[in-house]
């Protein structure tokens, strides 16, 4: 199965209105020529609408970092799927480890957010990953399977075509410690096997699984060369257009 690589930059709670728009423009300029890779940027909520305007007529996809599980109403401070959609957002992250560990998004909330994203017509990028203690205890496979099953048990066949997974080991996020290519390949295989056994072989074959956690130009190519690693979800290195563009080039198979 030939899966199209996807590289997305999660800007987290960084940048200001002017620098976010500047970076948006630079990403368009430096990655817009790629025809074989899907590229996405994921700015903070206040910058989404303006970034969406800058992306009009380009092939870049706009993503959001989070959404509320309800579609609207009295939820002060929250942002809904339909609101994101109205700003030009195409996909939304759900279950990022910072949401799970800092904001307390538990498995029930993650599942409700997956559903809310799909209901709003957004693609969903579901993030999974074990902590260092879980890895050390040999629990990684079980954790990934648990996260996958609890987040997707309500999905219908068609929903799966709008889901992407991002394997992000918690111990590799923002630490400079990347999973080895072997560790990434194994975790992706575990996740894909679970989908093959619990959903279908066709869905598992088509599902893109990105790796995230200290991806940089220096390690992107070897990670994405691995079987079943279909791209990257990039944090820190996505805040500079040149390093993000180098990772996109690596996904396209170009040598930098």
Q: How far is CA 33 from the centre of its chain?
A: 22
Nearer to ligand 13P, 96 or 226 (CB): 96
- Which of 68, 96, 130, 188 is catalytic? The answer is 96
Size of the site for ligand 13P (CB under 6 A): 14
Burial letters 181-219, b for 16+ CB under 10 A, else e: bebbbbbbbbbbebbbeebeeebbeebbbbbbbbbbbeb
From candidates 40, 95, 117, 212, binder to ligand 13P by CB under 6 A? 212
Decide if residue 234 touches ligand 13P (CB under 6 A): yes
Q: Which SS3 state, helix, strand or coil, does residue 10 take?
A: strand
Q: Phi/psi of residue 42, each to 5°?
A: -130, 80
Contacts of 85 (CB under 8 A, 6+ apart): 120, 121, 122
From candidates 235, 241, 246, 248, binder to ligand 13P by CB under 6 A? 235
Nearer to ligand 13P, 213 or 228 (CB): 213
To the query of whether residue 45 is one of the catalytic residues in this protein, the response is no
Binding track over 59-98 against ligand 13P, x by CB under 6 A: -------------------------------------x--
- Which of 98, 115, 130, 168 is catalytic? The answer is 168
Is beta strand 61-64 parallel, antiparallel or unpaired with respect to 231-234?
unpaired
Helical axes 217-224 vs 241-251, angle rounded to 10°: 20
Asked if 245 and 27 count as a contact pair (C-beta separation under 8 A), the reply is yes
Residue 233: CB minimum distance to ligand 13P, A: 5
Which of 230, 248, 228, 229 lies closest to 238 in space, CA to CA?
248
Block residue for tokens 């048990």: 153
To the query of whether residue 201 is one of the catalytic residues in this protein, the response is no
Near ligand 13P by CB under 6 A, which window of 109-117, 200-208, 228-236, 247-255? 228-236
Residue 18: CB minimum distance to ligand 13P, A: 22
Asked if 77 and 27 count as a contact pair (C-beta separation under 8 A), the reply is no
Near ligand 13P by CB under 6 A, which window of 29-37, 72-80, 231-239, 244-252? 231-239
Residues that bind ligand 13P (CB under 6 A): 10, 96, 168, 173-174, 212-215, 233-237
The residues carrying an active-site annotation are 96, 168
């Amino acid at each position: 199965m030939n899966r199209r690589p996807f590289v997305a930059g999660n800007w987290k709670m960084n940048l200001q209105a002017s620098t976010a728009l500047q970076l948006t423009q630079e990403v368009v300029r430096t990655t817009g020529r790629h025809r074989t890779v899907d590229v996405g940027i994921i700015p903070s909520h206040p910058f989404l609408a303006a970034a969406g305007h800058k992306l009009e007529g380009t092939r870049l996809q706009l993503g959001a970092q989070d959404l509320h599980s309800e579609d609207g109403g009295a939820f002060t401070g929250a942002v809904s799927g339909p609101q994101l959609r109205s700003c030009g957002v195409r996909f939304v992250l759900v279950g990022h480890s910072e949401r799970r560990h800092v904001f307390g998004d538990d498995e029930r909330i993650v599942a409700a957010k997956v559903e809310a994203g799909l209901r709003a017509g957004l693609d969903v990028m579901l993030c999974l990953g074990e902590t260092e203690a879980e890895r050390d205890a040999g629990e990684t496979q079980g954790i990934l399977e648990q996260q996958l099953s609890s987040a997707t048990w309500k999905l219908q066949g068609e929903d799966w075509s709008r889901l992407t997974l991002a394997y992000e080991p918690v111990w590799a996020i923002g630490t400079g410690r990347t999973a080895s290519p072997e560790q990434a390949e194994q975790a992706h295989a575990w996740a894909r096997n679970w989908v093959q056994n619990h959903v279908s072989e066709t869905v598992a074959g088509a599902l893109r699984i990105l790796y995230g956690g200290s991806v940089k130009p220096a390690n992107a190519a070897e990670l994405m060369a691995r079987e079943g690693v279909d791209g990257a979800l990039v944090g820190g290195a996505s805040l500079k257009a040149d390093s993000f563009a180098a990772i996109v080039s690596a996904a396209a198979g170009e040598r930098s």
